Amino acid sequence: MTTYDPIERVRRARRKAASGAGGVALVCAVILLIALKLVTGRSGADAPGRAPVTPPVQDDSADMHWRPFRPGQDLPESRTAGPARHVDGLAAGFERSPLGAALATIHISHRLDASTGPGVFEPTLRDQVVGADADKLHEQVSATYDNARRRQGRGAGEALDPGSARLVAYKVEAYSPDVATVTVISAFDDPPPYFAFRFDVRWTDGDWKLVAPPGGEVQRTELQALPAGAVALSRGT
């Protein structure tokens, strides 16, 4: 015969409830752990072989605006960092600052493009390029212009087709009040890839001047994404 013991019955009921609650808690903990692994795995921060991507800075300052350079091509300018002067197709008068160095690099390098024609690249080479290889750069630009002019059937001295590449960003790689290194980044209508051109500029006679690259050859590097620290230029500024 079984003796009815209400106290023991209550104890068994409590043990059973506690066991069930512990099982539920364990299941919940396992589900939470799996969810956390899935989230961190998707982020890519801890996934092997994947480095976190730092988005480029967007330059949306009201200080910046765009000014026509030539048909189909505009260049950015700053009300404070320059250029302060436009004389005979040249842009000059840049602030002695990282932004001033970047804008000087952009404006001078674009005016050194052979497609601008000798009316622009000749005075730019004469007045805004320094360094031991300035003459070699002059030879490279002139030769590129002559070859392209013949292909396009243009007369001597005429500007050429600028092409469809557009300026999209820049990055100040290094800066001091006397010298800076700036990468100018361009792309076609559907990037990537991007095309990066790295230049040194030097503070000379009260303004930034571009240092002719070694051997007078401007090097181009292909990129699949804008690098960390690049400043993306928005046409909405």
What is the tens place of the pLDDT at every residue in 72-86? 889 999 999 999 999
Can you tell me which residue has the tokens 């019955």? Answer: 9
- The residues facing 194 across adjacent strands are 187, 223
Task: Output the pTM of the full model.
Answer: 0.75
Q: What are the b/e assignments for 100-118, b being 16+ CB within 10 Å?
A: bbbbbbbbbbbbbbbbbbb
**Residue 219, pLDDT score:** 93
**What is the percentage of the chain residues whose pLDDT exceeds 70?**
73
- Coil/strand/helix, residue 203: strand
161 or 5: whose pLDDT is higher? Answer: 161
- Coil/strand/helix, residue 214: helix
DSSP structure string for 142-192: HHHHHHHHHHHTPPTT------S-EEEEEEEEEE-SSEEEEEEEEE-SSPS
| Domain chopping of the chain, boundaries | 1-45, 57-233
Asked if the model's pLDDT at residue 59 lies above 80, the reply is: no
Can you tell me which residue has the tokens 């230049």? Answer: 199
DSSP-derived letter for residue 54 is P
Asked if the model's pLDDT at residue 6 lies above 60, the reply is: no
Least confident interval from 19-23, 38-42, 181-185 = 38-42
DSSP structure string for 42-84: HH-SSSTT-PPPPPPEEE--TTEEEEEEETTEEEEEETTTB--
